[in-house]
């Protein structure tokens, strides 16, 4: 029998996370792209070694602390954004001693 995760059960990797499931993982930034005209947002692509995942930060004009190669601890709920798996406005901490919460 295959175990199906519940929405309340927290996923620990990108590859095992199901839609609408809470996700908590450590990942590395692979790409940052910010839209500099209304509506403002930044998309950050991360990987945990099992898969890649988009992080969408609404209302941000820059990814000031989210440079490529930055290691993050990130938490949020997995949603569908135009057919792509995404964490929308997740909380995160940069794992070099500084932290930020979106």
The predicted structure's pLDDT at residue 76: 96
The predicted structure's pLDDT at residue 3: 43
Cα separation values, 95 from 16, 31, 58, 70, Å: 23, 17, 22, 8
The predicted structure's pLDDT at residue 53: 96
The predicted structure's pLDDT at residue 38: 85
Separation of alpha carbons 27 and 53, rounded Å:
9
* Domains in the chain with CATH codes: 22-96 (2.40.50.140)
pLDDT in tens, the chain (102 residues): 444 455 567 898 999 999 999 999 999 999 999 888 888 899 999 999 999 999 999 887 777 778 999 999 999 999 999 999 999 999 999 997 544 554
The predicted structure's pLDDT at residue 27: 97
The predicted structure's pLDDT at residue 99: 46
């Amino acid at each position: 029998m295959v175990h199906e995760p519940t929405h309340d059960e927290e996923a620990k990797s990108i590859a095992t996370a199901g839609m609408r499931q809470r996700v908590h993982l450590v990942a590395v930034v692979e790409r940052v792209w910010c839209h500099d005209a209304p509506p403002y947002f930044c998309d950050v692509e991360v990987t945990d070694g099992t898969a890649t995942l988009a992080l969408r930060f609404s209302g941000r004009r820059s990814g000031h602390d989210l440079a490529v190669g930055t290691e993050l601890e990130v938490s949020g709920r997995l949603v569908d954004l135009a057919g792509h798996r995404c964490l929308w406005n997740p909380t995160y901490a940069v794992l070099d001693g500084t932290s930020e919460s979106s």
